[in-house]
Structure 1
Amino acid sequence: MTFSVSWHTLLDELDDLPEGATLITPLSHDRFRVTDVQEQRVVIEFLDRDIDETRPLQRDQFETLYRRITEEPGGFELDRLPPNADPYPAVLSVHPRFEIDEDQGMIAEKEGSTTSQLLDVRDESEESEEERTEPDLDVYADALLLVDALERHEMEVLEDMDTDALVNLYTLLSDVQRNANDLRKDVADVLLNRLHHDRPVSGPFGSVQRTTRRNRSLKDDEEVLGTLEGAGIDRERVLGVDRDKVDDALDVTELSESDVYEVEESEYVRKAEVDEERKETRLQGLKDQLAASEDEEAEDLRREIEDLEDRIDELTSFRTGAEVQE
């Protein structure tokens, strides 16, 4: 199949997308929508960016990507995309024969129907009718208690708070930190399978990137000393195999680090940045929306909050043994 045929099939598929359909880029996970479909380009609009939100994607760039995918066995590695080019494979995945495998970091041509980077399109009224469910997570319950504690006390001057209030606050902060860190590690394990490059992947509140950590440990003392002596370094110079002395010796020899160190590498997800202003704006927007709304859903939410406060009072209030027996 020629590119011209594939291109016009893609344009037809884009024209048929439902209104409000949202796509997501495979590397940066930016959400965007197709706003215009033309013979020589596709115009998209990013939903999570404050600048450069509108961008044209040119036909000739799609053709270049098409040829790389079809000419290489197994498809094209997404890591090889130029910077800011990941909207192209996201749009191309709307074509019925092209599919992105984020776990493998590839886009390939397939036979038969394929999946795309199109997010689920649901009617807004259906979303509003969905029941709110409480996640079965320890950190969720601890966070609710912590929020309630923070709202009940004047936090500007901790020195003015009562000792029992400080004890409760410290306990809740410790529980939230421990449980949140456990959940953070679980999330990081999943993210590691989705980060295929050294560029940060952004979300609404911040970004993360894949980072390599190196841990060194010296080999057996006699092996290290023998290796250094063979390179002309006196045993007394590094006697005791002090790490600093070994490093000094490596600087004046042709030995490599791996000759005297056991080097292990492990990968982890590192927080790259946090958009505090975006978080504060989002939180304030939620508060304003609830305060201004007069519909039944908002009233139900207010009642849920009141019920939650009653439950928190019951859980956190101190009762003596005599009170319990009464």
Structure 2
Amino acid sequence: MPFSVSWSTLLEECEELPSDATLVTPNAHKEFRLTDVQEQRIIIEFPDGESRPLQRDQFETLYQRIYEADGGYDLGKLPVGAEPYAAVLSLHPRYEVNEDRGAIIESETATTTQLVDEGAEDEKTERKEPDLDVYADALLLVDALERHEVESLTELETGTLVNLYTLLSDVQRNSNNLRQDVADVLLDRVHHDQPVHSQYGSVQRTSRRNRSLKDEETVLKVLDEAGVDRERVMSVDRSKVDEVLDVVTVPASAVYDIEEQEYVRKAEVNEDTKETRLQGLKDSLATSDEPEAEELREEIEELESRINELTEFRSGQTFS
């Protein structure tokens, strides 16, 4: 289908929108509205009053990139400021922004748009607390990091350092467990030589080989047949040495080079204390009307927005 036909369809869809219809960009999730639809451009306006023209030729370039892409055009390749083009193009019945896949895709079936449905949006953005250990530990860790000057660890009290170490250890263990669970599911969805991209990064399937020797008789027989002297591959078996040391008077230092290294390890976790502190954090943030609580909520939203912006691909103002 030539672009001229798709452009005409897109203009028709834009003209049929209610005047108060709001769209949201992918990645940064910035809202905007259409204020004018012209033959060669579409005018949009952001809540802060900024008005921008979206040019027909840039839509055509995006259209071509989607056509050439295998499996959709990567959202990460959108130039800075180009997100509104993707959002507006989603009004076309054949195009869709799929943020789970991190791509703008073309489809023969009905597609979703970047239109904001107030009721649906509230339901979509409602946060639900996951029943995961790593979630609770991460909240406690963030709280501890914010309450102490962790940039100067040597100045912190010992009890504070113990708390930090315990929480860091718990987050590391539980996040690794969850990471492995996620990897197990992804393994069935990712194919070799086909990286899968998303908002925060990409993954690809790979493989590694683990080798273990066959039994000693088999190995020695193969090497004998190849003319290899057995003495070249025979070595001291550590497990057998340990067995001998258990029944003789030879000290371990006579056969081992021993280097003692001291380290800190987690000995105990006070789960009751963690749970009490965690519930207190949730309750105070949920019910507090204090300016500090509102500021914290705003800081969280700002941080999420900043993370989205930092993960965008920045290559210029136009498609190339």
TM more than 0.5? no
TM-score by length of 2: 0.45
TM-score by length of 1: 0.44
Bigger share in strand: 1
- Bigger relative contact order, structure 1 or 2, given CA contacts below 8 A and separation 6+? 2
